[in-house]
Chain A
């Protein structure tokens, strides 16, 4: 009994089968205005709307996914994240979520800026290219790394901007973004030590710095 809570703390529960969703679900407070970029079929938005009463909006490029999102009652717009945020007024949202998509955008820096223009805070989750398995894969094979997290052949990968935990921290520092919270995951396990080496997925909660 006494050992269980301690062991449990090392694990993050899953939401819709994903630990990063569980973290996002904890961060977002009830009634918030939320925009999910690359929202897929809108599962996370639907959960947030039903369980947190958020005002949920999404952007997704795949028409088939947008269809399924709208069919489940989520207001999703079919469009490209790289261009799609320009119409929104400043500060339209409390949270703008970008889950596992930053590495797929053409201009990640611009996307981050836009997220923090239309939203008060941004939640960015991304696969960590600095994980030891990725490093080992490349070292051993000499080819583009392929792991559980990056399973694609280089010519088929949707990932066009690989980044690590360190890279994101560095960009945040250069851009004057405030990292309010950071979470590191290996599977469902929380990583506390050497995140750039041991984390498979990183979740950052950032806001615009005072100067910008």
Chain B
């Protein structure tokens, strides 16, 4: 299916930091059809480096969506049944207002004058979009990694707007380790002279710093097993070591490729702002405890984690589930066996398809 990207503009938004942002553009795509009672809408929330193009083939570039194997006719999120919505997050660089957008007050890119944003702010913008669609309640909110964090934020902040939530490979708050990896990425960007305190728009972007940040990211997305399987100690295009600092190993070549490819599609300042939002995220904020955060939640939950995911380990998903059980909420949870590490939520399609299809069907059955 060929899909069109759309943009809607909202006048302004008040942010958790106290700042106001005006106006706010939101890039989104939809798949499937909204039914007459507007009861079949599912909001898909993308991960850190994702965008609104979750499924189908994009109209301009012919690119396949990042969760195309899960969204479409007959797939886990069956577009013959459900109306799927995906939007680029606030602070992003793929059509929604972010640090690379032009500040109407100055006529120049916001750069570091862009206000620091939170996961809560991202979700507030998404709620404006859902209001704009006139959808009273979402049948489900779902996503992996940072997308799962947004799904949780939805269930806690707007409990009367969410029938179910499917948080995948995520957490209620970043651990020291997760913050640490994000900080390494940020420092790599800011250490690049081309970063120029964020003021590089129209000039040379901090490509080297951003590429290094992405290389670190890709290490955390894989597992020891999957790296051994994929690369081992194989050399890249040579029989013996080069005895220099060019690429020797396959894994080096892969990381360099991933890094340089990322630079062509992602803005370094968005990297700073979005990772900061993830690090600030703590579902217990303003609630005291996790169970208290879920106090008003009536949603059904399906939580999924992956055995080899050490970036968002299963214990973090289990914390979500335990808090929901303490509230006697309707929650299903499984840890899927996988070698793919954190990447599994994008790769292990068959198992997730069975789970999500069954969960959504029973959610429709139980819905009032």
Report if A71-B330 is in contact (Cβ < 8 Å); known contacts: A63-B337, A77-B325.
no
B134 CB, nearest partner CB in chain A, Å: 29
Which residue of chain B is the closest to A87 with respect to CB atoms? Answer: B325
Q: Is the CB of A72 closer than 8 A to any CB of chain B?
A: yes
**Any chain A CB within 8 A of the CB of B332?**
yes
B333 close to A78 (CB less than 8 A): yes
Interface residues on A, range: 20 to 34
Judged by a CB distance under 8 angstroms, whether A100 is at the interface is: no
Q: Is the CB of A70 within 8 A of B325?
A: no
In the complex where A57-B330, A87-B325 touch, is A70 in contact with B302 (Cβ < 8 A)?
yes
Is B81 part of the contact surface with A, judged by Cβ < 8 Å?
no
B64: min CB distance to chain A, Å: 26
Q: For residue B75, give the distance in angstroms from its CB to the closest CB of chain A.
A: 15
Answer yes or no: A75 CB below 8 A from chain B CBs: yes
- A70→B322 contact, CB < 8 A: no
B contact residues around A122 at 8 Å (CB): none
CA distance A105 to B56 in the complex (A): 49
Q: A63-B337, A78-B333 are in contact. Are A71 and B355 (CB under 8 A)?
A: yes
A67 interface hit (Cβ, 8 Å)? yes
Tell me whether chain A's interface is mostly helix, strand or loop, or mixed.
mixed
Complex alpha-carbon distance, A75 and B301, angstroms: 9
Interface string of B300-339 (1 = CB under 8 A from A): 1010000000000000000001110111101111111100
Q: Which of A67, A77, A92 contacts B321 (CB 8 A)?
A: A77
> Given A67-B355, A71-B357: A89 and B330 within 8 A (CB)?
no
Judge whether A30 is part of the interface by a CB distance below 8 angstroms: no
Query: With an 8 A cutoff between CB atoms, is B365 at the interface?
Result: yes
For B335, the chain A residues whose CB sits under 8 A away are: 63, 78
- Nearest Cβ in chain A — how far from B78, in angstroms? 14
- Quick check: B334 and A73 within 8 Å, CB to CB? no
A84's nearest neighbour on chain B, judged by CB, is B325
Inside 8 A of B327's CB, which chain A residues have their CB? 89
Closest B residue by C-beta to A75: B332
Q: Is B361 in the interface zone, CB < 8 Å from A?
A: yes
Q: Which residues of A are found within 8 Å of B302, using beta-carbon distances?
A: 70
Report the separation of the CA atoms of residues A74 and B354 in the bound assembly, to the nearest whole angstrom. Answer: 12
Contact (Cβ within 8 A) B326 A88: yes
A67 pairs with B325, CB closer than 8 A: no
Residues of B within 8 A of A74 (CB): 332, 362
C-alpha gap A76/B331 in the complex (Å): 7
Q: Which of A55, A76, A88 contacts B332 (CB 8 A)?
A: A76
Is B74 an interface residue, CB under 8 A from the partner? no
Which chain A residue has the least Cβ–Cβ distance from B301?
A: A75
| Residues of the B chain whose Cβ atoms lie less than 8 Å from the Cβ of A70 | 302, 332, 334, 354-355, 358-359
Q: Report which of A55, A67, A75 forms a contact with B336, defined as CB distance below 8 A.
A: A67
Chain B's closest residue to A64 (CB) is B337
Interface flags for A98-131 (1: CB within 8 Å of B; 0: not) read 0000000000000000000000000000000000
Whether a CB of chain A sits under 8 angstroms from the CB of B351 is yes
Neighbouring A residues of B300 by C-beta, 8 Å: 75
Known: A67-B355, A71-B355, A73-B359. A88 touches B328 (CB 8 A): yes
A66 interface residue, CB < 8 Å from B? yes
- What's the minimum C-beta distance from A40 to chain B, rounded to whole angstroms? 14
Contact: A63 with B336, CB < 8 Å? yes
What 0/1 pattern do residues 267 to 306 of B give for CB contact below 8 A with A?
0000000000000000000000000000000001010000
A selection of 21 A-B contacts at a CB cut-off of 8 Å is A55-B330, A66-B332, A66-B334, A67-B355, A68-B354, A69-B332, A70-B359, A73-B359, A73-B361, A74-B332, A75-B300, A75-B330, A76-B332, A77-B333, A78-B333, A87-B322, A87-B325, A87-B326, A88-B325, A89-B327, A92-B328
Beyond A67-B336, A74-B362, A76-B332, list 6 extra A-B contacts (CB 8 Å). Answer: A55-B330, A63-B334, A67-B351, A71-B355, A75-B331, A88-B325
